[in-house]
Structure 1
Amino acid sequence: MTAVRPPEFFPTPEVAALLLHAERVVLADTLPFSRQAAYNRAQIREAAGAQRLSIPRVHTGKRQPLASLEIAGTAWARKHVHALRTAYGMAPFAEHVLPEVEALLTGRWPSLGALTVATTRWTHRWLGATSQLVVASETPEAPASLADIWTASGEGALLALPSSAARDRQRLGVETHVLRYEHRPYRQTFEGWVPECSSLDLILNHGPDAARLVRERTTIRPLALEAAPEPTRPEHG
């Protein structure tokens, strides 16, 4: 199965599950930036609860693809490093993970797409995922629509998240499977549990075992079964 997703800034657990379960993942950095998506945001856990890290972008007034969308300034990187050290300095895998993350954050990146591809590749490596990663902007044609990306790099059935599965199936006309990720508690650095944190939170707290936790919370079903109506239950007199 092939998943097609724009790269995310330290991907959500749902996208981490796609990295683990798909045979091929196409990082669609040629698609336009969306403010509603998590392309430039990652949620982390701090003592008081959730904190959102955001990468500022240069506003041009146009819908730009991630691969050419410039990052605004560098001050955000220092703030993110400080936030991560404060939140995860005592995390079980901080000694191994934080230096690599800080190197990514303080690197020189020509675009938001370049940085998010790098953080997605990093997540893929830490999860021990075996899926093939294909970056749309690095392919010869650099296709800029979902249909063209699929034609250039798609293979087999489509593996999609619930929010886009039906729409993508209609656009592509291919066999589609739906991946659902269930947010369930796991050990975090501070007492209690905050849901919907980035996969970075899982890796800092559980290291190589993060992949097992993601897999345990994931189910995959054909879209046809997902869309099927509930069977009518007979009435009992």
Structure 2
Amino acid sequence: MPFAILQPVLIPDLHDIATMKAADKVIIQNTETWSRKGRTHRALIRTPEGTDYLNVPVVSADKKKEIRYVRINHDEDWIEPILRSLKFNYSNSVYYDFYEPEIASLFWGGRDFDCLINFSAHIKNRLFEFLEIRDEIKAEFILSSEMPSYDPDPDQLSDVLSDDIYFQEHDARHYQRQGENKSTLPFTHPQYRQHFDGFEPYCCLLDLLFQYGPESFRVIDQV
């Protein structure tokens, strides 16, 4: 079975879900150096002009550390700006009012987390519950920090795991080491009704949740 090599992300998107569904194992690279170009601290949302990012600030002293050691900068006011951005951009979505209390509580709960990776894992688990997709992802999730034989070179890691087929994060060449022998996931981004004219792909799962709510499976089933 194929395996996947992904870095932690603040909120997954549909390509992430497709990659997880296609893999037998998902290696989470928490030992790689944090990059501002990655998605560990940010998530893409839909706006009237196109797209923009939700951002969680990180402690400046941690920006050259491994992802697993990067802390949230709680000295900054970051939760209210995120919630204001969600309200401004999604208040007209069909299911915004239904899920807003849960999502607000989720972000306010971020005050209880020190490390960013633990907060993002919590968000992922809760969103998988809201979207009822936990059972659809059969892959085993493995932290690179817990692999005695982990190799940061994807091709070498493929040899270690004796798996020839592996997938990596999409559009990640600026912050994730790319393997020469990586496979291309057969993925066509499903287009669904967004709350602004046109369609912008690769928005995080909040975009789908606020618009489709319990009917989100109709889109997720296409990946």
Following the alignment from structure 1 to structure 2, what is the Cα–Cα distance between the partners of residues 162 and 50?
17
Runs of 4+ in 1 over 4 A off after TM superposition: 140-144, 153-156, 161-166
Q: What is the CA distance between 1:135 and its match in structure 2?
A: 4.5
1:81 aligns with 2:83: yes
Q: Who is 2:166 aligned against?
A: 158
Higher relative contact order (CA 8 A, sep 6+): 2
> How far, CA to CA, are the matches of 2:16 and 2:120 in structure 1?
13
* Distance (whole Å) between structure 1 residues aligned to residue 103 and residue 153 of structure 2: 30
Does the residue aligned with 1:196 lie in a helix, a strand or coil? coil
Contact 1:161 1:178 (8 Å CA) reproduced: no
1:137-176 map, 5 Å: 139=146, 141=148, 145=152, 150=157, 156=163, 157-161=165-169, 163=171, 167-170=178-181, 176=182
1:72-117 deviation digits (Å, cap 9, x = unpaired): 1251111111221232233223244333322221222121111222
CA-CA distance at 1:168 after TM superposition: 2.4
- Preserved CA contact (<8 Å) 2:34 2:63: no
Matched, 1:21 2:25: no
- Cα drift, residue 67 of structure 1: 1.3
Partner Cα distance (1:137, 1:145) in 2: 9
1:159: how far off? 2.8
TM-score (norm 1): 0.71
Task: Give the aligned partner of residue 211 of structure 2.
Answer: 205
Structure 1: gaps (5+ residues):
171-175, 219-237
1:101 equivalenced with 2:103 (yes/no): yes
Alignment length (residue pairs) = 211
- TM-score, normalization by structure 2: 0.75
How many angstroms apart in 2 are the aligned matches of 1:142 and 1:198? 32
Letter in 1 for 2:113: W
Structure 1 residues 71 and 97: CA distance shift in structure 2, 3 A: same
- Between Structure 1 and Structure 2, whose CA radius of gyration is higher? 1
The CA RMSD over aligned residues, in Å, is: 3.4
Q: Deviations over 1:113-171 (max 9, x none)?
A: 11222223334442513233525167375958356x958x957442335656993255x
Give percent identity, aligned residues only: 20
Q: Distance in 1 between matches of 2:18 and 2:27?
A: 14
